[in-house]
Amino acid sequence: MTSLIERLRWRLTAWYVGVLAAMLLLVGGGIFLAIRHQMSRHLDASLKAATAAVMQATLIREVERARAVADAVAELDIPDRALYLFDADGHPIVPPHAEEWIAAAARQAARVGRADVDRDAPGEREFRLHAERFSGGTGAMYVAAAVADRMELEEEYTTLIATFVAAAFAALVLIAAAGYVLVRQSTAPVERSMDQMRRFMADAAHELRTPVTILHTRAEVLLAQVRDPERDAAALKAMEQETGRLGVILGDLLTLARADAGERPVAHEPLYLDDLAANAVEGVRALAERKQVTIEVGEFEEAAIVGDPVMVRRLLLIVLDNAIKYTPAGGRVRLDVTARDGHRSVAVSDTGIGIPEDQRSHVFERFYRGEPARREAEGAGLGLAIARWIADLHGAVIEIAPAPGGSQGTRVTLTFPAPV
């Protein structure tokens, strides 16, 4: 079972990391495309600015006529940009020589007004050119061009990609570790539920095996003997008791199964806790008399609540039945019903064997029967588990404490919310 849970955890972690990796890939790809597009736009804008600078320098020098136009362009220094000035026929002025593809772009710009060209060069180099035609102050036509190396942009882009990939890988490692921790925490309740189910099935099989074994053994003995009415009647009586015990266990198991499945509808009716308590006392009086245990009724105030009458009565019967079962002959069981401070309470105190402090946190577990309860009375250990379920459905609280006054015994208090 543990290996199954562990495989489930790793599988969920892998899905978690895979989904996040896919999301990072999609988001990162979108970001890269957007950045690349933006950087290309920035490059084009810088080339246009460079050509504009060439045009402006040319116009200024033509107006001043202090120096030649060629000198004006040569004086310009724009980092990482190659600047060119051509005449109207596409012949280079500055510098005096230009590669053919640049001159071709200049001639195209001279004809149509502007040109934008991408050029692949040896050595995995790629260039971007922008050229514009303009008119000088003397009426002469020129073409200004600016060229940039795209590899600079690609290098920046590659560095960005490498940084992002490293950050994404580190993030995925952290996400995988955090995801495993989260998956472990989220599957912990499943693991506990499966462990509880396994223990529940093992305990149920153990509790059912005893009466079934007794019934089978008695039936074998009965069939193997010569018929004797008196002996047969005793054997059948014992078998009847075992079937009764078996029926109680099966009924409790069915109740808890329905509780786990949420199949049991709960009524919400106006009730009086004192009336239900009085009815429950009458229901267990015969058991108390058989065990020679005295039932006392102390405070008995009117206590209105809202709930399911059948379930609340069963809750009270479970608590009273436990008190009587674990109280020796000659002992007492006292019931008090109070309505104070916005709460409705039923307290059942006994002079029985008591519950050790280290066992009180376990008494609501299914099939749990601590010492000395296991030796003192029969039972499957399901009653208080059902009681806790009923109390939770009604918003009630069950508290178990030693009997008041320091005497031996137990006090169980059921506290219900007052009706709104």
pLDDT digit string, tens, across residues 153-207: 666 666 777 777 788 788 878 878 887 788 777 777 766 767 766 766 666 665 6
pLDDT of residue 60: 58
What DSSP string describes 197-250? HHHHHHHHHHHHHHHHHHHHHHHHHHHHSPP-HHHHHHHHHHHHHHHHHHHHHH
What are 324's two structure tokens?
A: 């009587």
Q: Give the DSSP letter string of 80-142.
A: T-EEEEEETTS-EEESS---HHHHHHHHHHHHHSEEEEEEEETTTEEEEEEEEEEE-TTS-EE
Question: What average pLDDT does the segment 297-309 reach?
Answer: 91
| pLDDT value for 363 | 80
CATH number of 269-417: 3.30.565.10
Q: What is the mean pLDDT of residues 16-22?
A: 81
Q: Which of 317, 321, 330, 327 is nearest to 376 (CA)?
A: 327
What are the distances in angstroms from CA 181 to CA 2, 10, 174, 177?
16, 11, 11, 6
pLDDT at residue 381 tops 70? no
Q: pTM, whole model, 2 decimals?
A: 0.51
CATH 3.30.450.20 fits 2-158, yes or no: yes
Task: Give the whole-angstrom CA distance, residue 61 versus residue 401.
Answer: 104
Enumerate the CATH 3.30.450.20 domain ranges in the chain, comma separated: 2-158
Report the pLDDT value the prediction gives residue 40, as an integer from 0 to 100.
73
| pLDDT score recorded for residue 64 | 45
The residue with tokens 């018929």 is: 227
Would you state the pLDDT for residue 407?
Answer: 65
In this predicted structure, the answer to whether residue 408 has a pLDDT above a threshold of 50 is yes
Residue linked to tokens 């009586």: 237
How do beta strands 332-340 and 294-300 pair? parallel
pLDDT digits (tens, 9 = 90+) for 127-146: 889 999 988 766 778 899 99
Determine what percent of the chain is predicted with pLDDT higher than 90: 19
Which pLDDT value is given to residue 131?
Answer: 92
Instruction: Give bridge partners of residue 141 from the DSSP assignment.
Output: 135
Would you put residue 379 in left (φ > 0), alpha (ψ -120 to 50) or beta? Answer: left
The pLDDT, as a whole number, for residue 103 is 92
CB 279 within 8 A of CB 239: no
Q: Where in the chain is the domain with CATH 3.30.565.10?
A: 269-417
Q: What is the pLDDT of residue 125?
A: 76
CA dihedral 386, 388, 392, 395 (to 10 degrees): 120
Query: pLDDT-based confidence at 374, cuts 50/70/90?
Result: very low
User: CA 409, 412, 413 angle in degrees (round to 5)?
Assistant: 145
